[in-house]
Structure 1
Amino acid sequence: MTQRLPLEYREHFSAMKKEPKEIFFRGNLELLKRPKISIVGTRRPSQYTQHMTVDIARKLSQAGVVIVSGAAMGVDAQAHFGAGAENTIAVMGNGLNIYYPATNRELIRGIEKEGLALSMYPDDTLAAYWSFVARNEMVVALGDVLIVSEADRNSGSMRSVEYAKKMGKKIYTISHRTGESEGSMDLVKQGEAAIIYDIDKFVAQYGQVKAVENDPFLAFCLKNPSYEAVFRTYGEKVSQYELDGKIAVVNGQIRLI
Structure 2
Amino acid sequence: MVRKVDFPIPELEEMEHYPPHLWYKGNRALLARPKISIVGSRRPLSYTRSAVMQLAAALSRRGIVIVSGAAMGVDALAHRGAGVSNTIAVMGCGLDHRYPAINASLIGEIEEKGLVMSQFEPGFRARGWSFVVRNETVVALGSVLVVAQADRDSGTMRSVAFAEKMGKKIYVLPHRLGESEGTNDLLKEGRAEAIYDIDAFASLFGASEEASGGEDFILYCKSAPSYEEAVKRFGDRLFEAELEGRIAIENGRVILL
Question: Is this a same-fold pair by TM over 0.5?
Answer: yes
SS at match of 2:63: coil
The aligned counterpart of 1:176 is 175
- Residues 252/106 of structure 1: CA separation in 2 closer, same or farther (3 Å cut): farther
Are residue 123 (structure 1) and residue 122 (structure 2) matched? yes
- Opposite residue 249 of structure 1, the aligned amino acid is G
Matches of 2:2 and 2:210, distance apart in 1: 39
The unaligned stretches of length 5 or more in structure 1 are 222-229
Are residue 88 (structure 1) and residue 70 (structure 2) matched? no
1:119-158 pair list within 5 angstroms: 119-158=118-157
- Residues 249/128 of structure 1: CA separation in 2 closer, same or farther (3 Å cut): same
- Residues 175/95 of structure 1: CA separation in 2 closer, same or farther (3 Å cut): same
- Residues 123/214 of structure 1: CA separation in 2 closer, same or farther (3 Å cut): closer
Number of aligned positions between the proteins: 240
CA contact (8 A) 1:63 1:208 kept: yes
- Residues 214/124 of structure 1: CA separation in 2 closer, same or farther (3 Å cut): closer
CA contact (8 A) 1:39 1:68 kept: yes
Matches of 1:72 and 1:192, distance apart in 2: 25
- Residues 99/237 of structure 1: CA separation in 2 closer, same or farther (3 Å cut): closer
Matches of 2:212 and 2:144, distance apart in 1: 28
Cα RMSD of the aligned pairs, angstroms, is: 2.4
SS at match of 2:203: helix
- The share of aligned pairs that are identical, in percent, is 47
- Note the alpha carbon deviations across 1:122-172, whole angstroms, 9 max, x for none: 111000011000000000000000000000000000000000000000000
**Post-superposition offset of 1:251:** 9.3
- Residues 110/213 of structure 1: CA separation in 2 closer, same or farther (3 Å cut): closer
- Residues 219/188 of structure 1: CA separation in 2 closer, same or farther (3 Å cut): farther
The aligned counterpart of 1:45 is 44
Are residue 70 (structure 1) and residue 69 (structure 2) matched? yes
**Post-superposition offset of 1:213:** 10
The aligned counterpart of 1:234 is 223
- Opposite residue 234 of structure 1, the aligned amino acid is S
SS at match of 2:207: coil
Compute the TM-score of the two structures, normalised by the length of structure 1.
Answer: 0.87
The aligned counterpart of 2:235 is 249
SS at match of 2:204: helix
Matches of 2:65 and 2:151, distance apart in 1: 26
- Residues 254/205 of structure 1: CA separation in 2 closer, same or farther (3 Å cut): closer
**Post-superposition offset of 1:218:** 3.0
